[in-house]
Amino acid sequence: MDRLNPAVASQARERVPVAAFAVMAAGVSAALHLGKLAPAIPALRDALGVGLVEAGFLLSLVQVAGMTLGLAVGLMADTLGLRRSMLAGLALVTLAGAAGALVQPGAHALALLLVFRALEGVGFLLAVMPGPGLIRTLAPPSAEEAAMGLWGAYMPLGVALALLAGPPFIAQFEWSGWWWLMSAISAAAAAWVWFIVPADARRPSGQRGAPDWRGRLSLTLGAPGPRLLALAFAVYSAQWMAVIGFLPAIYADAGIAAGWTGVLSSAAAATNIVGNLAGGRLLQAGVRPGRLLRWGYAVMLLGSVAAFAQWGHGADAWSLPASVRYACVCLFSLGGGMVPATLFMLAVRLAPSSSTVSTTVGLMQQASSLGQFFAPPAVAWLAMRAGGWQWTWVATVACSLVGMLAAMRLAYLHLHVSPSSGARTSSSS
């Protein structure tokens, strides 16, 4: 793999168009809706009587759309229009968030929150699935890698901003004000996309060799690469969301002041951005994807064990000092950031054809959402059974071990894939 000359990299960064930054802002605004719930859990428990397990389902319900529609959206995004899909998603998260802000305490409060959270999940999926395709369309070839690197950080950046700003804002304006703010931000992002991103181009008629949706679906599901990518993405995102999503509640239970819970949680989430960027640089420097994946999962495994494991019982229980455990949570998030950076690159290489990249990414999103849906309630249940968070590492270790096995197989496939078969041969797919 060629090394990237610093002068060329600087020139590429300068050529990333403003419209690509609008797409990036849209992804971040959608991720804010994904991350807005975690800092609001203590307030929702006090105001609406939402329990810990119910909060876990509120955290994960946003993934219902990804579980059910990820592959379908990947298949149909080009037909529907990438810009139209993103705008529809931003509109939906804006309206669902505003409706959620109107929920009042009562017997149906939790049910209404669950419904609106599920709608936010649909909007999130519609908003972020077209992102890579739009950026490939908007960015010139010399700036494509720089622009895609920016897109890879949209999720941790949105979650980190929500975790940082949420606690002080909620303390001042309550959780409903927080919901209104998120809706206003996504509405502003939609306006930016509307005014600056070019309208979807019409697909040329009479295209040859491009399979219909049934053919693309069959190709994707029949190839081992997309299935392994989906598994690897699922076990990464499941453990990352379970740990980072519950950090505010974990620190609140430990008696840490609300202002500090947001700072600590957002800093831990932000290290994932560093991991994403570092993963891209390491790939450019020639580190093999399989090795980088194994490093990422290994760091997540070790970091989670050190952060949560407790030796002994009762008054004799012992764990690492709080500051060291927090550093290990940050290490867990940092190492994990190398995983999605690598998987998105492999999705381009291991897609069965240039016309199935979006379908492959859709399958990855669907598997990721499945993991994020089940992991937070499972970790919450484990914490309730154990009377604390000390057994959280059992879930993260299991996910990391599965990820390492998938990484070994992906490394083999990457070494044997034909360069001419990779989707990189056609950036318009």
In-domain check, residue 30: yes
d(CA 31, CA 206): 38
Tokens of 361: 């990414």
For the ranges 181-190, 236-245, 415-424, the maximum mean pLDDT occurs at 181-190
pLDDT at site 428: 35
Q: Is residue 235 over pLDDT 90?
A: yes
Interval 216-243 mean pLDDT? 91
Q: What is the pLDDT of residue 49?
A: 74
Q: What pLDDT is recorded for position 352? A: 87
Q: Is the dihedral of CA 216, 141, 80, 154 positive or negative?
A: positive
- Residue 1 scores a pLDDT above 50: no
Q: Which residue has the higher pLDDT, 395 or 141?
A: 395
Q: What is the mean pLDDT of residues 161-178?
A: 89
- pLDDT for position 211: 67
> 142: pLDDT confidence band, cut at 50, 70 and 90?
low
Percentage of the chain surpassing pLDDT 90?
A: 26
The whole-number pLDDT of residue 202 equals: 64
Check residue 114 and give its pLDDT. Answer: 86
pLDDT digits (tens, 9 = 90+) for 326-375: 899 999 999 999 998 888 778 877 888 767 777 888 899 899 888 888 88
CATH number of 33's domain: 1.20.1250.20
Residue 318 lies in a domain: yes
| Structural domain for 306, as ranges | 16-197+213-425
The pLDDT-based confidence of 406 (bands split at 50, 70, 90) is very high
For 162-176, 197-211, 224-238, which range has the lowest pLDDT when averaged over its residues?
Answer: 197-211
Whether 230 is covered by a domain: the verdict is: yes
pLDDT at 128: 85
Phi, psi of 300 (to 5 degrees): -60, -40
Q: What is the pLDDT at residue 314?
A: 58
Structure tokens at 274: 């560093």
Question: Is a pLDDT exceeding 80 seen at residue 381?
Answer: yes
Longest Cα–Cα distance of the chain, Å, equals 74
Highest mean pLDDT among 47-56, 141-150, 299-308, 387-396: 299-308
Res. 207: pLDDT tops 60: no
Q: For residues 312 and 166, which has the higher predicted lDDT (pLDDT)?
A: 166
Rounded average pLDDT over 383-392: 79
> Could you report the per-residue pLDDT of 236-286, keeping only the tens digit for each?
999 998 888 778 777 776 677 767 777 888 788 889 888 887 887 787 777
Residue 181 confidence class, pLDDT cut points 50, 70, 90: very high
Q: Which residue has the higher pLDDT, 9 or 59?
A: 59
Q: Is 252 helix (H, G, I), strand (E, B) or coil?
A: helix
Residue burial 393-426, b: 16+ Cβ < 10 Å; e: rest:
bebbbebbebbbbbbebbbebbeeeeeeebbeee
User: Could you give the CA distance from residue 397 to residue 336 in angstroms, rounded to a whole number?
Assistant: 13
Answer yes or no: is 3 within a domain: no
Q: Which residues of 363-374 are buried (b: 16+ CB within 10 A; e: fewer)?
A: bbbbbbbbbbbb
Q: Which residue has the higher pLDDT, 122 or 147?
A: 122
Quote the number of domains for the chain.
Answer: 1
Beta partners for 311?
318
> Mean pLDDT, the chain, as a whole number?
81
For the chain, percent of residues with pLDDT exceeding 70: 84
Which residue has 């998105």 as its token pair?
Answer: 344
pLDDT computed for residue 145 by the predictor = 60
Q: Are 60 and 376 in contact (CB under 8 A)?
A: yes
Strand partners, 78: none
Residue 189 domain-assigned?
A: yes
Predicted confidence at residue 204, as pLDDT, reads 52
Coil, helix or strand at residue 311: strand
pLDDT recorded at residue 397: 93
pTM of the model: 0.75
**Distant-in-sequence, close-in-space partners of 186: CB < 8 Å, separation ≥ 6:** 29, 30, 32, 33, 90, 93, 94, 97, 127
Q: What is the pLDDT of residue 418?
A: 47
CA-to-CA separations, 309 to 12, 271, 329, in angstroms, rounded: 45, 21, 12
Cα angle for residues 15, 17, 19 (degrees, 5° grid): 170
Q: What whole-number distance in Å separates Cα of residue 292 and Cα of residue 297?
A: 9
